[in-house]
Chains A and B, each alone.
Chain A
Amino acid sequence: EIVMTQSPLSLPVTPGEAASISCRSSQSLLHSNGYNYLDWYRQKPGQSPQLLIYLGSYRASGVPDRFSGSGSGTDFTLKISKVEADDVGVYYCMQALQIPRVFGPGTKVDIK
Chain B
Amino acid sequence: QLVESGGGLVQPGGSLRLSCEASGFTLNQYWMNWVRQVPGKGLVWVARISGDGSTINYADSVKGRFTISRDNSKNTVYLQMTSLRGEDTAIYYCTKRMSPNLALVLYDKYYYGMDLWGQGTTVTVS
Interface residues, chain A, with chain B CB atoms under 8 Å away: 1, 33, 35, 37, 39, 41, 43, 48-51, 53-55, 58, 60-61, 92, 94, 96, 99-106
B118 lies within 8 A of A48 (CB): yes
Which residues of the partner chain B approach A105 to less than 8 Å between Cβ atoms? 42
With the chains together, A50 CA to B57 CA distance in Å?
A: 22
Interface string of B65-83 (1 = CB under 8 A from A): 0000000000000000000
Question: Interface 1/0s, chain B 102-118, versus A by CB < 8 A?
Answer: 00000101111111011
Known: A48-B119, A49-B93. A103 touches B112 (CB 8 A): no
Cβ of B120 within 8 Å of any chain A Cβ, yes or no, is yes
Q: Do B45 and A50 touch (CB < 8 A)?
A: no
**Across the interface, do B111 and A99 meet the contact criterion of CB distance under 8 Å?**
no
CB distance from A71 to the nearest CB of B (A): 16
